[in-house]
Amino acid sequence: MTQDNGAERDEDSDVARETELEPAVLDLFDDYRAAFDDFDADAVADCFAYPNVIWQFGKGNVFADDEELLENIEKLLAALDKEGVVASDYEIVAGYIGGDTAVATLSWVQSDAQGEAVFEFTCHYHLLFDGDTWRIAMIVNEP
């Protein structure tokens, strides 16, 4: 049986099963990647639920609204531009959808104009389905 959010649910159980990520979740990550590739801070922020938490450099940062998050995103985009990053790509390492929540682990490569990797890293995403679309509620960046 498929739920409103696209997750598969065992008809004999109220527990969601581990599954491939559904198209709506993949669309979120494609939009997120495209926003970074376009250096579009507003489009990056649109991928998030509020409040949200981003764990980076061993510290959790809580962003109550898009205004707070945009400041962080703009700094990140400026740093990526300075390093010559022009493209981002990801591979899904793991994913799970249960009800209106999902978790996904993505391995990222951010490359320069010559296609050389500038940054390679892994992030763990906790997602929420808000009745309309999937949004990022928390990111944990691996050190």
Domain boundaries in the chain? 23-141
Q: What tens digit of pLDDT does each residue of 56-109 get?
A: 888 999 999 999 999 999 999 999 999 999 999 999 999 999 999 999 999 999
Amino acid at 112: D
**Which pLDDT value is given to residue 20?**
76
For the domain made up of 23-141, give the CATH fold. Answer: Nuclear Transport Factor 2; Chain: A, (3.10.450)
CA distance 78 to 84: 10
Tokens (6 digits) for 134: 């999937």
Q: What tens digit of pLDDT does each residue of 1-39 get?
A: 455 555 554 444 444 444 478 999 999 999 999 999 999
**Which pLDDT value is given to residue 57?**
87
> Which residue's entry shows tokens 């990801």?
90
Angle of CA points 88, 124, 18, to nearest 5°: 110
Query: Is the CB of residue 69 less than 8 Å from the CB of residue 63?
Result: yes
Please, which residues bridge with residue 97 across strands? 102
